[in-house]
Amino acid sequence: MFLQKITKLAKSSILELVLLLLCVVLSFKADGFFTTDNFLNVLRNVSMQGVIAFGMTMVIISGEIDLSVGSAVAFAGCLTAVLTKTLIAAGLAPVAAVIIAILASLIVGFAIGSLTGYIRARFDVPTFITTLAWMTVLRGTAFLITNGFPVSNFPDWYNYLGGGYLFGIPFPAIIFLIVFVIVSILMDYTSFGRSVYAVGGNAEAARLSGINVKRVKIIVMGIVASFAALSGVMQSAEIMSGTATTATGWELEVIAAVIIGGTSLMGGVGRVRGTLIGVIFLGVLVNGMTLMNISEYWQFVVRGVLILSAVLINRAQQIKR
C-alpha cells in the first residue's frame, strides 16, 4: 500500500523530480550554480515571461492560444514610455505621469485581448489567426510610436519596478509569485476557474450546462494580454526605456513553459502549479547551460527537444487515460 502511494506520488510529480535531479547535476557541473545569488538571478530572469505563462495557461486550458504576447510586451513598454514622456512634457508630475501611463498600458492590453476573445466568440475566428495578426500589428505600432528608437524619459526610481529588490528578493520575482497565487486561487477555487476547464474540455457541453462560453473566452484572452502588458511595464523599468525590439520570440518561450508544465494544447487539462514548475525548469536549464558555457545554438536545440518530448508525454498520458 505504501509503495503504491509512493509510485502514484512519483507519477504525479515527475516534472518536479526531474527539476530536482537537474539541480543536483548542475550543482556539480556548473560553477556558481548552487548559490543564493544565482537562484535569485534565475527567478528574476523567468519572472516576466512567467507572469505571462500563468495567463497563457488559462488561455490554453480554455482551448485557445495567444501568439501576440511578445509583441504585446514590446508595445506596452513603448506605450508606457511615450505616455510618460508626453505627460511630463505637458507639465504633469513624474509620479502621476508614470502611474497614468502604466494604468493606460494595462487597460489597453486588456482591451486588445478582450477584442480578440470577442472576435473568437462573435465571428468564430480562431485565436491562432487573430493573435498572429496582432503579433504583427502591435510590433509595428511599437515602432511607429517610438520612430524606431528607444524612448527614455523615466524618473530614476522607475527602475525599481524592473530591477529593484524587496527584502532581498527581486521585485519582478515578487510580482511573479503574487500572480501565481492569484491565478492558482482563481483556477482551483472559483466557479470561473471551473468554467474555464469546462469550456476547454467541451465547449458545447459547457454551454448546455449554463456556462457563458463567450464571456469566459473574452475574459481569459483579456487576462493574458493584460499580463503581457504588465511584463512590458516591468521590462521597460528594467532597461529604463521603451524599445520596440524587445521580447522577440517570447510567445514561444511562454507556450513552451506551459506545455512542459503539463497543460494540454487540446484544452481542458492543465495546472497553474505545473506551469510554475515549467517556467522554473526552463530558467534553471538555460542558466545551467550558460554557466557551463554551452553554445546558444545548442540551447535552442535542447529547448526544442524538450517541447516535443513534453507534447509526446502529455499525449501518451491522455491516450492512456
- pLDDT tens for the chain, 321 residues long, are 666 666 665 566 778 888 898 899 999 988 999 999 999 999 999 999 999 999 999 999 999 999 999 999 999 999 999 999 999 999 999 999 999 999 999 999 999 999 999 999 999 999 999 999 999 999 999 999 999 999 998 999 999 999 999 999 999 999 999 999 999 999 999 999 999 999 999 999 999 999 999 999 999 999 999 999 999 999 999 999 999 999 999 999 999 999 989 898 889 999 999 999 999 999 999 999 999 999 988 988 988 888 788 777 776 766 766
Is 27 domain-assigned?
no
Is 29 within the bounds of a domain? no
Residue 6 included in any domain: no
* Whole-angstrom distance, CA of residue 80 vs CA of residue 239: 13
The confidence score (pLDDT) of residue 308 equals 81
- Return d(Cα 221, Cα 224) in angstroms, integer: 5
pLDDT computed for residue 7 by the predictor:
62
Question: CA 195 to CA 22: how far, in whole Å?
Answer: 36
pLDDT at 239: 97
| In a domain? residue 28 | no
pLDDT, tens digit, 9 for 90 and up, residues 103-152: 999 999 999 999 999 999 999 999 999 999 999 999 999 999 999 999 99
**What CATH number should be reported for the domain holding residue 59?**
1.10.3470
Domain containing 103 equals 36-316
119 Cβ contact list (under 8 Å, min separation 6): 125, 130
Q: What is d(CA 77, CA 310) in angstroms, rounded to the nearest whole number?
A: 32
**To the nearest 10°, the Cα dihedral for 247, 154, 167, 25?**
20
Q: What is the pLDDT of residue 103?
A: 98
> What is the amino acid identity at position 32?
G
Q: What is the pLDDT of residue 104?
A: 98
CA angle, corner 197, sides to 107 and 191, nearest 5?
70
Residue 71 resides in a domain: yes
As a whole number of angstroms, the distance between CA 6 and CA 88 comes to 60
Q: Model-level pTM? A: 0.95
- Within a domain: residue 26? no
Selection from 311, 197, 319, 302 nearest residue 255 by Cα: 311
Dihedral over alpha carbons 242, 272, 25, 35 (to 10 degrees): 50
pLDDT at 16: 85
pLDDT score, position 15: 80
**Residue 7: inside a domain:** no
Q: Is residue 82 part of a domain?
A: yes
User: What is the end-to-end Cα distance of the chain in Å, rounded?
Assistant: 22
The predicted structure's pLDDT at residue 125: 96
Counted domains in the chain = 1
* pLDDT at 307 (0 to 100): 78
Q: pLDDT tens digits for 244-261?
A: 999 999 999 999 999 989
